[in-house]
Structure 1
């Protein structure tokens, strides 16, 4: 596997055009960037970014996804070429989505991956805490999430499972402020998870990072031929990429850890946010650029994959997980001849 680049175009009123086999980004008739098309997996545009029709056609031909987001990272549209993958895999996926037992087991694995990885964030925070009270509170939060993990096998339907996931998320975000340095908590406090719009700085930063992980998860599913709209944990709704949301659950703690690093290291500060009328909070243009750079750098970091038993770039893990999802949906046997369900990626 080769980790291709995602080009994030954040400069407002910029324009992209095709130049032979190269994508050219221009601002005020000045060329700012040239990128060979064969280096790209996706092009993500934030806000007011123009694009030529020849480039749109070429991106579709080269199977390079074009994603349009608003300035705050909220999804608007996506352009893709011909549908990839084996139609038999998609048919199996659609059939399995109507199999209650399979859907419950698959969704349970997604929730378990998210909760376990979130618990690791709290445990790491407890180890690094400067104050004993913070360490104790974070440890109690980790114990609460461990209790959720023990309860998952007894969830007999999706509604109960979703209730456990929601309660785990509430407990996790209740402890999240204790992961921020004490002198920064006043400016980066959060009263639970808020979105559309985010109501505080930390929520705005998390929403932006989640949107980028979401794009990578959706691209990974499409690369292996799965339908990102048909999931198991998330309720099916028109326009919702339910399977991409299912896959993304285990990666949310990676976004959380990056957000905390950016804040605690001072790479993102109080002045990097805008407070809009009505109380919505968003990142400034320069802050978005800084977050995108940090996100791309983090994706290059090597991690150990427990199923493959080898190290690979973090940015490749969604693709590996998408393939594991496809194997579970097909009910394929592993190397030992056993047929197992979906195995989420777990942080060590």
Structure 2
């Protein structure tokens, strides 16, 4: 299925080469570790130091298969692809929409609302599951604060106010997120707020890793829908920044948070799976990266009910659906953009 056919290469110092119509992955000893027919792929994502032959790069471009380069932390570095085939009329409408202050504010408001609702669901679920009454009360209070931020969104008269409400909600959310880690694992997986570039603790490192993968899938979905990933509404426009992909990803961040919590609480990711570098940076190790990628791919195949479409589909296809819904709004075929907020 679309968006489920991404190859993630996490093996350090591996090398990718072209064998006829097949991509072959070899390790440091030049032993073959994997073969994948090119017609099965939509994107190839490489973490850290991964080499690649020029013939394979040319073939990926010819086949329209995106090549994404991330650093060892999972932070985006570059994306290589062939000629972009967007819908010129849709992109023209998108340019006009970005210049329309009222349209931009409404779109940004809906994006933030989707994120806050999904974050609130994470906290409420945790409140229902915890056996500690004190922690339940704290989680409920944090969820109520997010609800208050949601109620304040309609009164936000500009993007700065809207971003302020989103930032305020995020601070309270990440403080409460620590309570969703099992007590016996909190010593090693506590966050002192959200940190990145680089992550300063294990949980932040894990979250950043998941966010990078969601970001890649959201950008692919936007391009598949014919939109320009650089032209966003909530995130400011900057050269080289996929602002619309960041916009779309906001409503999916809580899904990444839930999966990170699951892996930590089940012991599938432990404190020994991270490297703590000089200067305070924390990096997910190679073997653990593979396990995390597998868990991410498995989660994307789980069926969810889309509240707007009222039908079941794999979670990994939801960004594509949302990108198309956003395209309909940009074209004027839908009165508003409705984020993905299942109950």
- The interval holding the TM-score normalised by the smaller chain is over 0.9
**1:68 counterpart SS class:** strand
1:13 alignment counterpart: 13
2:341 alignment counterpart: 346
The 3 A distance-change label for structure 1 pair 75 and 2 is closer
Are the counterparts in 2 of residues 120 and 347 from structure 1 also a CA contact under 8 Å? Answer: no
- Cα offsets for 1:46-72 (capped at 9, x unmatched): 111111111111111211110011111
1:164 alignment counterpart: 165
**Offset of residue 256 of structure 1:** 0.1
Q: TM-score by structure 2 length?
A: 0.98
Q: In 2, Cα distance between the equivalents of 1:36 and 1:306?
A: 35
Greater shift after overlay, 12-21 or 227-236? 12-21
Structure 1 outlier segments of 4+, above 2 Å: 1-4
**2:167 counterpart SS class:** helix
**1:116 counterpart SS class:** helix
**Offset of residue 109 of structure 1:** 0.6
**2:235 counterpart SS class:** coil
Q: In 2, Cα distance between the equivalents of 1:112 and 1:270?
A: 34
Are the counterparts in 2 of residues 3 and 313 from structure 1 also a CA contact under 8 Å? Answer: no
**How large is the Cα RMSD of the aligned pairs?**
0.9
2:65 alignment counterpart: 64
2:281 alignment counterpart: 280
Q: In 2, Cα distance between the equivalents of 1:162 and 1:306?
A: 26
**Offset of residue 21 of structure 1:** 1.3
Q: In 1, Cα distance between the equivalents of 2:192 and 2:162?
A: 24
**Offset of residue 45 of structure 1:** 0.4
Greater shift after overlay, 9-18 or 118-127? 9-18
Structure 1 unaligned runs (5+)? 333-338
Report matched runs for 1:319-334 at 5 Å.
319-332=320-333
Q: Does 1:227 align with 2:228?
A: yes
- Cα offsets for 1:295-328 (capped at 9, x unmatched): 0000000000111110000000000000011001
Q: In 1, Cα distance between the equivalents of 2:225 and 2:58?
A: 22
1:54 alignment counterpart: 55
Q: In 1, Cα distance between the equivalents of 2:33 and 2:273?
A: 24
Report matched runs for 1:19-38 at 5 Å.
19-27=19-27, 28-38=29-39
**Offset of residue 7 of structure 1:** 0.4
- Cα offsets for 1:173-206 (capped at 9, x unmatched): 1101100001111111111100011111100100
Report matched runs for 1:71-90 at 5 Å.
71-90=72-91
Q: In 1, Cα distance between the equivalents of 2:13 and 2:280?
A: 26
Report matched runs for 1:305-320 at 5 Å.
305-320=306-321
- Cα offsets for 1:106-164 (capped at 9, x unmatched): 00010000000000000000000120111110000110001111111111111110000
**2:305 counterpart SS class:** strand
**1:121 counterpart SS class:** helix
Structure 2 unaligned runs (5+)? none
